[in-house]
Homo-oligomer: A and B are copies of this chain.
């Protein structure tokens, strides 16, 4: 009795088999970075942990840097998605409330995968390249918020202000993650960061 040909065509291995491999590699890469740090991040170890041969790794990632890039891009996407979600529901319009919201969004975004984030942004050589994903988008997001709120800001002033705010948020979240996790736990960081930036922007 010949079996029916399956309704869904047998899944294309070009698609699925390799996608599983790619995913295993990415997962293994993230695991090694977060658990062992960049010092131990070698392509051979990643392949081993992924349960895949080193040759397969190089079939999908032409070099080590491209693997890191893929990881950083995916992570940045996750962060941006979460940040946007936090910023959608914007009923309030007072500057301190908007700032509080932005800070909360940034803190939440950094909680997606804090260990991976720190390694990608502070351990990986040439981490500027990794930052390209986060930073530009964050600055644009901030810029539009600020324009909406403080229409008395001049364009030149705007660049400077966006720089001040973006850098301050990022630096203090990173600093808290590495040196004072308790400030993050208790919410003290959110509060102080909001206070810092509100006081600054209200004076404009």
Residues of A within 8 A of B (CB): 38-39, 123, 125, 128, 160-161, 163-164, 167-168, 170-172, 175-176, 178-180, 183, 188, 192-193, 195-196, 199-200, 202-203
Q: Chain B nearest CB: distance from A46 CB in Å? A: 19
Cβ-defined contact, A167 with B172, below 8 A: yes
Q: Chain B nearest CB: distance from A200 CB in Å? A: 5
Of B38, B123, B179, B200, which contacts A200 at CB under 8 A? B200
Among A164, A168, A171, A180, find the residue whose CB has the most chain B CB atoms closer than 10 A.
A164
Of B123, B128, B164, B183, which contacts A160 at CB under 8 A? B183
The 5 A-B pairs with the shortest beta carbon distances in the complex, nearest first, are: A171-B171, A199-B199, A167-B175, A196-B200, A199-B200
Nearest chain B residue, comparing its CB with the CB of A173: B167
Task: Compute how far the CA of A36 lies from the CA of B150 in the bound complex, rounded to whole angstroms.
Answer: 43
Task: Compute how far the CA of A167 lies from the CA of B178 in the bound complex, rounded to whole angstroms.
Answer: 12
Cβ-defined contact, A188 with B172, below 8 A: no
Known contacts A160-B183, A160-B188, A160-B192; A170 and B171 CB within 8 A of each other: yes
- Which residues of B lie under 8 Å from residue A125 when comparing CB positions? 38-39, 123, 125
Cβ-defined contact, A168 with B196, below 8 A: yes
Among A123, A168, A176, A178, find the residue whose CB has the most chain B CB atoms closer than 10 A.
A168
